[in-house]
Amino acid sequence: MINTQKPVLVTGATGYVAGHLVKKLLQQGLTVHAAVRDPANESKLKYLNQMAKSLPGRIRYFRTDLLQQGSYAQAMNGCELVFHTASPFETRVIDAQKQLIEPALLGTRNVLMQADKIASVKRIVLTSSCAAICGDNADIAGVPDKILTEAIWNETSSLTHNPYAYSKTLAEREAWAIHDAQSRWQLVAINPSLVIGPAINPFATSGSFDVIRQCGNGALRFGAPRWGFGVVDVRDVAEAHYQAGVMPQAQGRYIVSAHNTDLFELANSLMEKYGAAYPIPKRTLPKWPLWLFGPMLSKSMSRKVVALNVNHPWRADNRRSVHELGLAYRPLQESMEAVFQQMIDNGFFKSKFFRSE
């Protein structure tokens, strides 16, 4: 049992998922130790502070650095529960080792090794990813029943092929290795698919927003590919973290994914409300032009990546999260409309036809 009268640590507290997790914790009346890079940066913290004013819990900020050993000691002191959410999700990657691998792997090692030194810590909830379960959609054809489960690990990604997925795999494996070397604290891993939905900070940086932006800025006006993936609302991911932290029976890994979908279906969920005012893609894009021109558009869109993911369905089993964590997932259209409207209201798209009422 976690004593909710004790403070709770959230690393990367200004992040996309972390923002909603902090909100949930404050709603429950908990004291949140928010680990951030710069507690003096008021512009970075203003959205958390605005939210905290109307909620019963308390928030305290601590200066931390993922790559600096010992920087989490003060923030973690007295905490029984630690949520390690800090990890990069970037689509514009120039140096995968520096931008993805080191923050994910060394940061996880730093936080968990610190927990070994803090006697109060009883449980750590790690934000992992479905990317640590599967690297390419084509891999799913080779798993039992052609559906992803928590028993499966990504074994095909590397520094040069799907480096983001590789970073998440390395980080989660390292977390379990550190956990297995001790017996005092528990580890629970949350493995979300692509996270969508409104952000506490509407200008937060996440690769998820780059995907949503393409649905309305004309980048997909000639069509959207059948690039399969899972999606889940950020508010449901936060709920999964909270339940994994406070439910005594929570253990192991949890796939947190609401919908097996693809890029065309994701964009099409916006058509009913926004199709008349924004260039939502109306047709599917064949695989061959993406295979041919993709590498020119993005360094991460190699022909190998296109070949192994476009027109390959993505399927995952989320029953553990439903039955053990009690999740009730939001509809896809609700999540997409919420984040798209937030982006409209904050000037991410150019249209003179549509504004919120």
- In tens, the pLDDT along 235-279 reads 999 999 999 999 999 999 999 999 999 999 999 999 999 999 999
Is residue 87's pLDDT more than 90?
Answer: no
Per-residue pLDDT at 206: 77
Banded pLDDT at 300 (limits 50, 70, 90):
low
Residue with tokens 């003096």: 40
Q: Is 162 left (phi over 0), alpha (psi -120 to 50) or beta?
A: left
Banded pLDDT at 63 (limits 50, 70, 90):
very high
Q: What does the block give as tokens for 153? A: 């690990």
Is residue 121's pLDDT more than 60?
Answer: yes
Whether the predicted model's global pTM rises above the 0.85 cut: yes
Residue with tokens 């390690």: 84
Q: Which tens digits make up the pLDDT trace of 162-210?
A: 999 999 999 999 999 999 999 999 999 999 999 999 999 988 777 788 8
Quick check: helix, strand or coil at residue 278? coil
- DSSP states of 157-199: --SSSSHHHHHHHHHHHHHHHHHHT-SSSEEEEEEE-EEES--
Closest by CA position to 11, among listed 90, 72, 88:
72
Is residue 296's pLDDT more than 60?
Answer: no
d(CA 321, CA 247): 12
d(CA 151, CA 155): 12
Is residue 357's pLDDT more than 50?
Answer: no
